[in-house]
């Protein structure tokens, strides 16, 4: 757990540094000076902040509909079987499809 806390501290610090550089590089007064360093600082801050931010919303699986023996396409649904702190065990189910033998 100590390693996780250390890595989370590093991630938070780097995300903060990126957000700070992005905000400083985007400051309107700096656009009056034709110095590319401010644009570089803004770009570095944006990339750094995005790289170290935590993924809050889980992406959609984008699994296409599955045709079954009845000739219709059925949508794949996900069901959480086991919920844990660091991840969930998911079960993908297609209504109308026979469960295959394992």
Question: 61 and 42 in one domain?
Answer: no
User: Mean pLDDT across the stretch 57-64?
Assistant: 77
Question: 94 and 71 in one domain?
Answer: yes
CB-based contacts of 80, cutoff 8 Å, min separation 6 = 88, 89, 90, 91
Question: 61 and 40 in one domain?
Answer: no
Is it the case that residue 1 has pLDDT exceeding 70?
yes
Question: 82 and 47 in one domain?
Answer: no
Q: Give this prediction's pTM.
A: 0.50
Domain boundary among 18, 36, 52: 52
Residue 76: Cβ-neighbour burial (10 angstroms; 0-12, 13-18, 19+): middle
Q: How many CB atoms lie within 10 A of CB 22?
A: 19
Domain that holds residue 19: 2-52
Question: 67 and 43 in one domain?
Answer: no
- Distance, in Å, from the CA atom of 49 to the CA atom of 6, rounded to the nearest integer, reads 18
User: Mean pLDDT across the stretch 8-21?
Assistant: 92
pLDDT in tens, 26-56: 888 888 888 899 889 999 999 999 888 876 6
Q: Of residues 7 and 57, which shows the higher confidence score? A: 7
Q: In the chain, how many domains are there?
A: 2
């Amino acid at each position: 757990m100590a390693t996780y806390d250390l890595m989370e501290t590093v991630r938070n610090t780097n995300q903060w540094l990126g957000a700070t550089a992005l905000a400083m590089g985007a400051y309107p007064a700096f656009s009056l000076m034709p110095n590319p360093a401010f644009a570089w600082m803004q770009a570095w801050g944006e990339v750094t902040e995005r790289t170290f931010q935590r993924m809050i919303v889980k992406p959609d699986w984008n699994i296409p509909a599955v045709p079954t023996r009845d000739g219709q396409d059925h949508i794949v649904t996900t069901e959480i079987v086991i919920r844990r702190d660091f991840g969930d065990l998911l079960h993908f189910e297609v209504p109308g499809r026979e469960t295959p033998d394992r």
